[in-house]
Amino acid sequence: MEESAPRQGRSVFVGLVGASQLLGLASVVLTGVWMGHYRQGFAWNGSAQEFNVHPLCMVLGLVFLHGDAILVYRVFRNEAKRNVKLLHGIIHLLALIISIIGFVAVFDYHRAAKIPDMYSLHSWCGMATLVLFCIQWVMGLLFFLFPVASSGLRAAYLPVHVFCGLVLLVMAIGTSLMGITEKLLFSIMPTYSQFTPEGVLANVLGLLLVCFGVLLGYLITREEYRRPPNPEEESLSVHFKTLTEGGSPTSP
């Protein structure tokens, strides 16, 4: 019985991670179907089809890939920490690039259609999320992946970095929900109350994004899913500190 408990806990964890991936992928696919089928597809020519690139990139980059980048510390919690940090940084970089493409698309569409930029709450929150995401990535690069700060500063900043990552995920999902609402108000509001397929799809997409965020929040904050202490990595960290900062091998 005692040996089966860890296996059961592992099965629950794998099931929750799998469910999170299904929710995230379904959100990306539904966004693509919405923009591709109901909003006349995608293009890069300043038309409304170029605008459609924006929501797809935002859901794929700032929501799905961002969430997965955070989740790698739980999924690969027994792997070498350096490799996990590298994967975390690469996925975040990919999310950042895709998100910037999405922002360029919407600004290009606004310029071609002579629509003012940054006039809505959605655009303000979206820009704030992207700027903070960029800062978060650069700080992670300088503090953890290629550290230039002292071990004391890194230890002090780590909880802030983790907290900001979760806040940015919440901001990205919230901004996406604002974008869905804005699209419903301006595009299909006259028929929305008639349960049109497009309106139902948009509602389902919103629910999927919320469920994805809630499930990721659960996985990330559960103590039993956190990365366990690794004596070998701690020893290497102490020796690195000794070489670079002149501390004693026994210092914390």
**What is the model's pLDDT at position 233?**
53
Tell me the pLDDT band of 193, cut-offs 50, 70 and 90.
confident
Q: How far apart are CA 226 and CA 78, in angstroms?
A: 10
**Mean pLDDT for all residues in the chain:** 89
Q: How far apart are CA 180 and CA 205, in angstroms?
A: 9
Q: Distance between alpha carbon 125 and the CA centroid of its chain, in Å?
A: 15
Tens-place pLDDT, residues 17-59? 999 999 999 999 999 999 999 999 999 999 999 999 999 999 9
With H, G, I as helix, E, B as strand and everything else as coil, classify residue 219: helix
The first and second tokens of residue 141, run together, are 């690069």
For 2, how many CA atoms within 13 A lie in the half-sphere containing its CB? 0
Whether 92 contacts 69, CB under 8 Å: yes
* Degrees to nearest 5, angle at CA 162 with 161 and 164: 65
* Every domain of the chain and the residues it spans: 19-227
With H, G, I as helix, E, B as strand and everything else as coil, classify residue 221: helix
Whether 154 contacts 173, CB under 8 Å: no
Distances (CA, A) of 131 to 92, 103, 136, 166: 14, 11, 9, 15
The residue count for the chain: 252
Residue type, 114: K
Distances (CA, A) of 92 to 62, 124, 216: 9, 22, 16
CB atoms within 10 A of CB 240: 13
Tens-place pLDDT, residues 218-235? 999 998 998 887 654 554
**What is the model's pLDDT at position 1?**
47
Question: Does the pLDDT value for residue 182 go beyond 50?
Answer: yes
Question: Does the pLDDT value for residue 3 go beyond 60?
Answer: no
Q: What is the mean pLDDT of residues 189-214?
A: 93
Whether 16 contacts 215, CB under 8 Å: yes
As a whole-number percent, the residues of the chain with pLDDT over 90 amount to 75
Beta-strand ranges (E) seen in the chain are none
Tell me the pLDDT band of 244, cut-offs 50, 70 and 90.
very low
Distances (CA, A) of 51 to 41, 104, 231, 233, 251: 10, 9, 51, 47, 55
Q: What is the mean pLDDT of residues 138-155?
A: 91
Question: Does the pLDDT value for residue 134 go beyond 60?
Answer: yes
Per-residue DSSP letters for 65-76? Answer: IHHHHHHHHHHT
- Between residues 78 and 7, the one the model is more confident about: 78
Assigned CATH for 19-227: 1.20.120.1770
Quick one: DSSP state of residue 115?
A: P
**What is the model's pLDDT at position 187?**
83
Tens-place pLDDT, residues 75-112? 999 899 899 999 999 999 999 999 999 999 999 999 99
**What is the model's pLDDT at position 247?**
47
